[in-house]
Amino acid sequence: MADPGMSVTPYWELTFDADGDVDGTERDRLLTQAAERGVRDLIVFSHGWNNDRSDATALYRRFFAPVPKLAPKARIGYAGVIWPSMRFGDEPIPDFPRSPAAGAAPRSALDEETRRALSKAFPGRTAVLDRLARLLDERPAGDEGTAEFGRLVRLLPEPDGRQTVADTDEAGEPAVFTCDPVTACEQFAEALAALEPAADSAAFGLPDPWDGAKELLRQATYYQMKRRAGTVGEHGLGPLLGRLAKAAPGVRVHLVGHSFGGRLVAFALRGLPGPVRTVKSVTVLQGAFSHYVFAARLPHAADRSGALKDAQRRVDGPVVCSHSHFDTALGTIYPLASRLAGDDRSCTGTEIAAVLGRRWGALGHDGAQAVPDTARLDLAAALGGGLPASGCVNVDASAVVRRGGAPVGAHSDIVHPELARLVLAAGRIA
């Protein structure tokens, strides 16, 4: 049942494929054992971008570790979701070992770990990936190289087997697939240079568009993972929670997700069978999806709503969204990737991102937006008993979510006892 190295027990893993189909043996083990083990509260955690099972289980082991001492009398079970996502090897995770290959590679090159992960993420695209890697190594001068790079990037994504609608305030494909690729590379390079102005010689000249090219590839990959997270949540985790409600109706479920894993657990609410009311809390840690996802009306399009309009009402408790201004992945790069303003060359990449962030921003940057009666708290107030019993709650976690280097900033800095306490507070787990 549990990984021998896991920090808590009872612990189950739930492995999903890209279509949302769950491993049957793991599913049945949870359904039969949750009630048998006397579990009253089940915390289900979904990782965001990770390259393999060991990365995910390492996150769960460290995040869950303080929980037994924080709630010593609670009868808690733990489940870790494993789903096919990927992380670039140059993205630092605080307190986790950094890939040696990533540290040795030039900033715009693809390290071996990332190459392997891309091959898994885009099977059948080996020739395209090889050419992209050569271009990043060679960095040809002029616009022809970045134009070719952009055309190749657009060949990578494939529709997942089961489709789930995208956030409706992000209608259609993001601009990384539709705008001029040369402009996209330039604007990404400008944004990256602003995030680390003293990092190298680029600080004394124009930003290198090949740094932006690698970011274009990164964002194309994330678009695929973002869609997949919604599919796995709606078609996989949501129906499984419905089965758990029948098999163990006394178990209270608490969903936790980081980054795209936050999107996964949020979309699980849409996949819940109608009468199920066993989800007692949702905690989204640095959610990498639209801050308008729960909105009934979009401020810029009153006839449209967020993809999960009113889904918070499926939760018999609060939907807590942590955010941090140190999360540059979501504060700068995410809105720029969502809708590049290629016609505004008077702005730098970060200025464009700041403007676009008001429309194309992410939950992990400023929390849920355009949802009436949303509570807004800092972390100290939330942990001091200030969490409402229902509805959306934005919690500024900048006090602890603050470490990390470019390009993602503090996006993955979530292993803190304060955030474990936030999960317990959201679920009223004593």
Cα separations (Å) of 391 from 182, 260, 281, 312, 388?
A: 43, 21, 10, 6, 7
Q: Mean pLDDT for the chain? A: 86
Per-residue model confidence as pLDDT tens digits over 52-89: 888 899 999 999 999 999 999 999 999 999 999 988 87
CB contact at 8 A, 400 and 418: yes
What would the mean pLDDT of 326-336 be, rounded to a whole number? 77
Burial class (CB in 10 A: 0-12, 13-18, 19+), 119: middle
Pick the more confident residue, 108 or 378: 378
**For residue 408, is pLDDT > 60?**
yes
Secondary structure class of 391 (helix, strand, coil): strand
Q: Which helix (H) or strand (E) element contains residue 104?
A: helix 100-104
Per-residue model confidence as pLDDT tens digits over 142-173: 999 999 999 999 898 866 556 555 554 444 45
Burial class (CB in 10 A: 0-12, 13-18, 19+), 323: buried
Secondary structure class of 366 (helix, strand, coil): helix
Q: Specify the pLDDT at position 183.
A: 87
Reported as a pLDDT band with limits 50, 70 and 90, residue 120 is confident
Gyration radius from the chain CA atoms: 21
Among 176, 194, 151, smallest CA distance to 337 is for 176
d(CA 305, CA 308): 8
Burial class (CB in 10 A: 0-12, 13-18, 19+), 244: buried
**For residue 353, is pLDDT > 60?**
no
**For residue 126, is pLDDT > 80?**
yes
Looking at the DSSP assignment, which residues form a beta bridge with residue 252? 41
DSSP secondary structure letters along 210-221 = HHHHHHHHHHHH
What would the mean pLDDT of 168-188 be, rounded to a whole number? 70
Q: Which tokens sit at 140? A: 């040809």
**For residue 356, is pLDDT > 50?**
no
**For residue 201, is pLDDT > 90?**
no
pTM above the 0.75 mark? yes
Percent of the chain having pLDDT more than 70? 82
Pick the more confident residue, 102 or 342: 102
Q: Specify the pLDDT at position 168.
A: 47
Strand ranges inside 71-144, DSSP E: 76-82
Reported as a pLDDT band with limits 50, 70 and 90, residue 5 is confident
Please, which contacts does 9-13 make with residues 24 or more away whose CB atoms are closer than 8 Å? 9/78, 10/37, 10/39, 10/77, 10/78, 11/60, 11/64, 11/77, 11/78, 11/79, 11/80, 12/77, 12/78, 12/79, 12/80, 13/53, 13/57, 13/79, 13/80, 13/81, 13/82
Per-residue model confidence as pLDDT tens digits over 209-245: 999 999 889 888 888 888 899 999 999 999 999 999 9
What would the mean pLDDT of 33-43 be, rounded to a whole number? 97
Where b means 16+ CB within 10 Å and e means fewer, 359-396 reads bbbbbbbbbbbbbeebbebebeebbeeebbebbbbbbb
Looking at the DSSP assignment, which residues form a beta bridge with residue 11? 78
Q: Specify the pLDDT at position 202.
A: 45
Q: Which tokens sit at 78? A: 């733990």
Winning range, highest mean pLDDT, from 100-114, 260-274, 338-352, 360-374:
260-274
